Structure 1
Amino acid sequence: MMAEFVILGAAIGVSNIALVSFVIYLALVVLLAWLSSRAAPSGGFVSEYFLGSRNLGVCAFALTFAATSASGGSFMGFPALIYTHGWVLALWIAGYMIVPIVAMGLLGKRLNQISRRGDAVTIPEVLGQRFESPIAGIVGTLLIVIFIFYYLLAQFKAGSEILISLLSEVSHFQTAVQWTASITTSIWFLEGTEPDYVLCLTVFSAAVIFYVVYGGFRAVVWTDVMQGIIMFGGVVVMLVLALYFTGGLAKANQKLAQYKPPAFGTAKLTPPKNFTEEAIPRGTWLETEDGQLVRTARRVEIDSAEINSAEILMLRTEIEQEAVNPQLIRRDIQVEILERDPYAYGADIEGVYLRPPGPDPAKAGGFLALGMAFSFFVFWPFGGAGQPSNMVRLMAFRDTKTLRMSIITVAIYFSVIYFSLVVIFCCAKVLIPGMEVNPDRIMPEMAVQSTTMAGVPWLAGILLAAPFAAVMSSVDSFLLVVSSSLVRDIYQRYINPTAEESQLKKVTYAGTITIGLLATVAALYPPRYLQDIIVIASAGLAASFLVPMAFALYWRRATAAGIVSGMIVGCLTHFILTFVVSGGSLLGLQPFVWDVLFSALAVYGVSLLTKPPHEEVIRRYFDVD
C-alpha cells in the first residue's frame, strides 16, 4: 500500500490549488507591510524604520528573533544534510536548542541599555559611540556589508528553488518561463541561466524588496510573527504526515537501517535512433540491463549517438529501488556504468544512517567527528549571539521582562522545530530515494509528495510557505541591516550629517532597493552548496562581531584599537581556516572556535597596549544605572 502512495505522490505533482494557498500567504505578507506602515507613529523616521521605536513585546520580539535565526539554511540546507547523512544531524544541531539562552542572554540586556543611551540604531553605530571612534564604525559597516551580501546569495537561491517546486506543474508558469527564455537569450549577462530560476528569482526579490522598503523594521517584525507561526505549524503538520506514511518512527528506522549510501559515477548513455530531445534532465531515472536503477546527477546534453561521460547516482539496495515510481523510469535509453565512486565512509556499514559519525561521500572519518560535534555545539549558540541581524533585535525589545519571557519562548520554539526536522527528513530518506542528486530540493519535494499522498494537495502551498517564510524572514532582516549601516553609518555620518528626515527616508528607500537589486543580479549565478555558504557567512559575521561586542559591553578597559583588531583578526582567521587550511578545520575543530580565540587575544592584547578610554566614556556606559 505504501508503494502505491509513493507512486501516486511522485506522479501527480503540485496542483493549481496549492498555488492559490501560497498566493494567499504572499497577499498576507503585503497586507501586513501596509498595515505596519499605517500603524507606525509619526516622527523619528530613523529609529522607527530601523528599530520599530524600540518597543517590541514578547510575541513580536520572540518570533522575529526566531524567524530571523531560522533561515533558508534551516529549512533547505539543514534538511539536505539530514537526508544525506542521517540521524547524526541531531547531534550536529543540538547546540541550537540553547541559542536563545546564549544569544539573547549574553548580550541582550547590556546591548539594549547601551544602544538606548546613545540612541544608536545600528551595530557599527554602537561601536563607534562606545569608543568615540569612526574607524570602529567604518570597519564594522564594511564587514556587515561583505558577509551579509554573501549570505543573501544563498537565501535568494533558496527562495527561488521553493518557487520552482511550487510552480513547476502550473501551465501559466510554463508559459511565463518560455517568455522569460526568449528574453534571457538576448541579454548578455543572462546567458547560461535557467529561465525558470530567473523568473522565480525576480518574483521573490520583488516581493521582499517591496515590503521591506514599504514598511521598514516594523513590517519585518509583523511579517516575521506571521512567518514564525507558519514555520512552526508547517513543520508540525509535515512531521505528522511523515510519521504516518512511514508507519511510525520505529518502522522508518528499521528501513533506514537497511539502506546503504548511494554511489556516484559515470555511465555511457545510448539514446534510441529516433531520439529527438536536446537533453536528458537532471534527476531522470534510468535502468541498466541487469535492472539497477541510476539517476542522472546533471543535465546531459545530447550531442552525439552516445554519451560517454554522463554523471549518475546509483542506488545500492533493493528496498530503495522498490520505492521508485516505475512510471518515472525511462527504459528507452541504454545505460552502461563506467565508473563507481562509493562514499568515503559508510559505503558498506550496516545502519550507517542511524549513528555517528554518519556517512560521507568525501570524508574518510565520516560526516561528524567528535571534535567537530563539539565545535558545532559551541558554534550555534555563540555564533547566533554574534549575528548583527540578531543584535539589532536585541536593541528593540521593550524591557527586561520581555527579554526573559522571550528566551523561554524561543528555546521551546527551536527545540520543537529542529528535532522535528531531523525526524521528518530521516523519514524522507525512506519515502523519496535518490535525492542526493539535488539534496537542497528535498524540503519542497517532501512537502509536495506528503500532501499529495494524503489527498490534500492544496496543503502543499501552505507547507511550502514554511521554508519560504524562513527565507523571507532572513532576507528582509539582512536587507534592513545592510541598508541601515550604509545610510546611518556612512551617509548620515560622513556624507550629509545635517540631512533632514525626508532626505534620510529617500536615501534609505533608494539604498534598500539598490542592495536588493544587486543581490538579485549576483544570485543569478548562485552558490552550489546552500548550507555550506550559510555556515561560512554566519560564522564569518560571528567571528567579526561576537568577541568585540562582548568586550565593548562588559570590559571597561577595551579600546577602539583593540575592538578593530578583534574584528579584523576574527575575520582573517575565518577566511584562512575556511579557504586555505585543508578540510576547513584545524586539529579537528570547526574554524569558528579558533576565530573566537584569536579575536579575543587580539582585543585583549591590543587594548592593554594602547591608551585607556576616557573616564567620561567609562562613566557614560558603565556608571549610569
Structure 2
Amino acid sequence: MNSLLSLPLLAQAQDGASNAAIVSFSIYIAAVMVLAWLSNRLLQSKSFLSEYFLGSRSLGVWAFALTFAATSSSGGSFIGFPSLVYTHGWIVGLWIGSYMIVPIVSMGLLAKRVNQVARTTGAITIPDVLRDRFESPAFGATATGLIVFFMVFNLIAQFKGGSVILQTLLSDVPMFQMASDSLANVLPSIPILSWSADNPGYLLCLLVFTFAVVIYTAYGGFRAVVWTDVMQGFVMVGGVVLMLPLALYAVGGLGKATQDMAKMTPPNKVQLAFSVETARDSSLSIPANSWFVRGAGDSARVFRTAAQALIVAGEKATRGDDDKGIPGIELTYSGHIQKQVQEATNRPSSLQDVTVEVIESVEYKSGAGQQGTYVTGPGPHPSSDAGFLPFSLAVSFFFMWTFSGAGQPSNMVRLMAFSNANTLRRAIFTVSIYYSLIYFPLVIIFCCARVLLPGWETESDRIMPEMAKATTEIINMPWLAGLLVAAPFAAVMSTMDSFLLMISSAVVRDIYQRNINPHASEKTIKRLTYVVTIAIGAIAMLAAVSPPAFLQDIIVFTGSGLSTSFLTPVALMLYWPRFNHYGALAGMLGGFGTHVTLYAVGTIMAGGKVAAYRLFDFHPFMVGLVASVTIAVIVTLLTPRPPENLVRKYFYKDGGEG
C-alpha cells in the first residue's frame, strides 16, 4: 500500500500571512529604488565616469566596509553555502573557516597600494590600473576579456539564486500562481524562453528580478550600488541573526540537532516510476517534491520526487524522459522515515491509488550507511570516494578563501574607492566581525535544516528560503519569512549590481573609450553605459533561463578563476619594481589556462556537471596560483627590465629619487 504525503513539503501559509510577507519584501525593494534615484540625482552634478564607476573615490568606513562585505557575500553565501552545509554536514564549517580572515588579507595585502596607484594614474577600472602601470594596452585588453568571461558565468548563477528566492516567497500568493499559469500558456510559442516551459514560476521571477536589479544599477551607478550594499549588509546580518534562534528552537537546541545528525545516514538517489490500477480519462500530474511511502512498519520505504511526473490519459504508468524514470530521493535514516510515515495521511484523493516502483537506486560513494558521517570529516559525498573534504582539499580551501578574495577584481574596485588610511584600518576590523556574524551562524542553521527538512538533496539550492518558511511557520509567524528571505535576496542583489557595473565598465571604459574612441564625449559615454548595462543584464538573464543545477559550483569556478588570473599580476606589480608586462601577461594567462584546463577535465569526467579535477588532490586554485607565480617570475627574469620612468613613477615618492 502506497500513500502520498501533502504535495508541498511545507504547509501553505494563510493568504494574509503570505500577503504580509510580500508587503515587507516590497518595502525593501522600494527602498532600493529610492536609493538609486537619490544616487542619480547626485550623479548629475559630478564627473560621470569617476562618479558612476567609483563614487568619486570618497567612501567612508561604513560605506567601504559594507560594500566590500556585501559584494563578497554573494548568492553563494546564502544559497550555495547553505546547500553545501545541508548536503555534507558540519565539515563545511572547516571548509569556510578561513573566510573570517579574508578582509585582513584582501585589504591588508593590496588595499593601500592599489588605492595609491589608481589615484596616481587616474584609473577607474582594474584593467585601467594594469594598462597604465605597465603602459601596455594589450595587457589591459587581456584583463578586460578575462573579467567579462568569468563575470558572465557568475551573473548567471546570481540570477538563478535571486529567482529561486523570489519564487519561494511568492509560491503561495494566488496572483503569482495565476500569472505563472498564464505565462505557461504562451511559453511554447517563444523559442528563446521555451526551456523553462516546465517551470513558468521560475521564469516569471527571473524576469521580475532582472528588471529590478538592472534598472537600479543602470540608473544609479556605483554610488547607488554602494548605498544599497550598506542597506543590504544590515539586512543580511539581521536576517541571519534572527534565523539562528528560530532554527535552534525548531529542532530543540544545538545539542539535540547534533545528536540527531550523528545518527543520520545519507539518502539514496533513485529513479522512480508511478502507476495506477485503472487508466484514467484525463492525465494525472504528480508534482515535484511529493512524498511517497511504500510498505509499513520497519519495512517502510520513503521517497521524495525531484521532478514532476505525468501519467498520460489512457495509460497506467509513467517513467519520465527516455524511460529513465523520475529522479528522486529515498530516505535511509529511520528517524526521518518514521516521521514521514506518521504524516502519510495527508494526500489528495486523486492520488490515492498511485503506486511507486524503484527503477534504480544509487548509494553515496562516501558515507553510505555510515552513522556519524554528517558530524565528522571528510563528510559524505554522492560521487567522490574521498568524501567532501579530505585533508589536502581542506588545505587548498583554507588558502583559496583567504587569498581568492584578494584576487577578485570586484573587490579591488572597492579598494580604489576608499577615502583615506583610517577608513581602511577601521573597515578591516568591521568586515572581519561582519563575516563572523554571518558564516558561523549559517553553519548551525543549516545543520538544523538537515534535521527539520529531509529530502532536499536534489534541490538543495532552495534550502535557505525553505528553511525561512519552515521556521517562521513553526512559531506561527509566516509573515516574518519575507524579512528572512530578504537576507539572501540582498546578498544576490549586492553582488549582481557590482558585477553588472564591472562588466559595463570593462566594455565602455576599457574597450570602447581606451581602444576604439578615446575622444568620446561624456554624453556618448553615458548613453553607451546605460545601453551596455541593460544589454549585459538581458544576456545573463537569457542564459539563466536554463541554469546550472548547483549555484555554488559556478561561483567557486568563477571566484577561483579570477583569483588565479589576477592575484599574482596585481600583487607583484604593486611590490616588485623589477616586474614587467611580459611577466604579468604570462602569469595571468598561465593561471587562467591551468585553472580552466583542470575544470574542463573535471567537468568532462563528471559527465557535464561543473566539477574540478584535483591534481594531487589539490583544488585548481592552488595549482593555478602556483603556476601563475612560477611563470610570472621566470618570464620576468628572462625578459628586459621595465622602463626606468615607470619604476620611478610607482616606487619613488612624487616620481623622484628614493
Q: What is the TM-score of this pair, normalised by structure 1? A: 0.96
SS in 2 for 1:352: coil
Pairing 1:240–2:245 present: yes
1:285 aligns with one of 291, 297, 305 = 291
Distance 1:242 1:328 in 2: 25
1:457 aligns with one of 478, 482, 488 = 478
1:29-77 Cα deviation digits (max 9, x unpaired): 1011112222347231100000000010110011000100000111001
Task: Determine the structure 2 residue equivalent to 1:299.
Answer: 308
Where in structure 2 are there 5+ consecutive unaligned residues? 1-5, 320-324, 606-611
Which residue identity is paired with 2:141? I
Deviation at 1:543, TM superposition (A): 1.0
Distance 2:9 2:475 in 1: 9
Deviation at 1:125, TM superposition (A): 0.6
Distance 1:34 1:176 in 2: 29
SS in 1 for 2:304: strand
1:351-500 mapped onto 2 (5 Å cutoff): 351-500=372-521
Q: Which moves more between the two structures, 11-20 or 469-478? A: 11-20
Question: In angstroms, what is the RMSD of aligned CA positions?
Answer: 1.7
Task: Determine the structure 1 residue equivalent to 2:147.
Answer: 144
Distance 1:461 1:525 in 2: 26
Distance 1:219 1:311 in 2: 43
Where in structure 1 are there 5+ consecutive unaligned residues? 1-5
1:147-184 Cα deviation digits (max 9, x unpaired): 00011110000001011101111110011112212332
1:316 aligns with one of 311, 323, 332 = 332
Task: Determine the structure 1 residue equivalent to 2:114.
Answer: 111
Deviation at 1:146, TM superposition (A): 0.4
Distance 2:492 2:352 in 1: 39
Checking the alignment, whether the CA contact within 8 Å between 2:279 and 2:316 is kept in structure 1 is: no
1:499-539 Cα deviation digits (max 9, x unpaired): 12111111111111111111111111111211101100111
Q: Which moves more between the two structures, 425-434 or 277-286? A: 277-286
- How many corresponding residue pairs? 620
Task: Determine the structure 2 residue equivalent to 1:600.
Answer: 629
Pairing 1:179–2:182 present: yes
Q: Matched residues, percent identical?
A: 51
Checking the alignment, whether the CA contact within 8 Å between 2:272 and 2:358 is kept in structure 1 is: yes
Distance 2:258 2:154 in 1: 35
Distance 1:464 1:50 in 2: 29
SS in 2 for 1:385: coil
1:96 aligns with one of 77, 81, 99 = 99
Distance 2:283 2:441 in 1: 42
Distance 1:432 1:289 in 2: 22
Deviation at 1:91, TM superposition (A): 0.4
1:51 aligns with one of 51, 54, 74 = 54
Which residue identity is paired with 1:288? R
SS in 1 for 2:572: helix
Task: Determine the structure 2 residue equivalent to 1:609.
Answer: 638
Q: Which moves more between the two structures, 306-315 or 240-249? A: 306-315
Deviation at 1:278, TM superposition (A): 4.6
SS in 2 for 1:269: strand
SS in 2 for 1:564: helix
SS in 2 for 1:238: helix
Deviation at 1:272, TM superposition (A): 4.8
Task: Determine the structure 2 residue equivalent to 1:206.
Answer: 211
Which residue identity is paired with 1:199? L
Q: Which moves more between the two structures, 265-274 or 288-297? A: 265-274
Q: 1:26 to 1:578 in 2, by over 3 A?
A: same
Task: Determine the structure 2 residue equivalent to 1:543.
Answer: 564
Checking the alignment, whether the CA contact within 8 Å between 2:74 and 2:495 is kept in structure 1 is: yes
Deviation at 1:323, TM superposition (A): 3.8
Checking the alignment, whether the CA contact within 8 Å between 1:71 and 1:155 is kept in structure 2 is: yes
Q: 1:201 to 1:327 in 2, by over 3 A?
A: farther
Deviation at 1:369, TM superposition (A): 0.2
Q: Which moves more between the two structures, 208-217 or 37-46? A: 37-46
Deviation at 1:126, TM superposition (A): 0.2
Pairing 1:618–2:624 present: no
SS in 2 for 1:336: strand
Deviation at 1:9, TM superposition (A): 8.7
Deviation at 1:322, TM superposition (A): 3.7
Q: 1:154 to 1:120 in 2, by over 3 A?
A: same
Q: 1:118 to 1:313 in 2, by over 3 A?
A: same
SS in 2 for 1:36: helix
Q: Which moves more between the two structures, 244-253 or 215-224? A: 244-253
Distance 2:333 2:396 in 1: 34
Checking the alignment, whether the CA contact within 8 Å between 1:323 and 1:431 is kept in structure 2 is: no
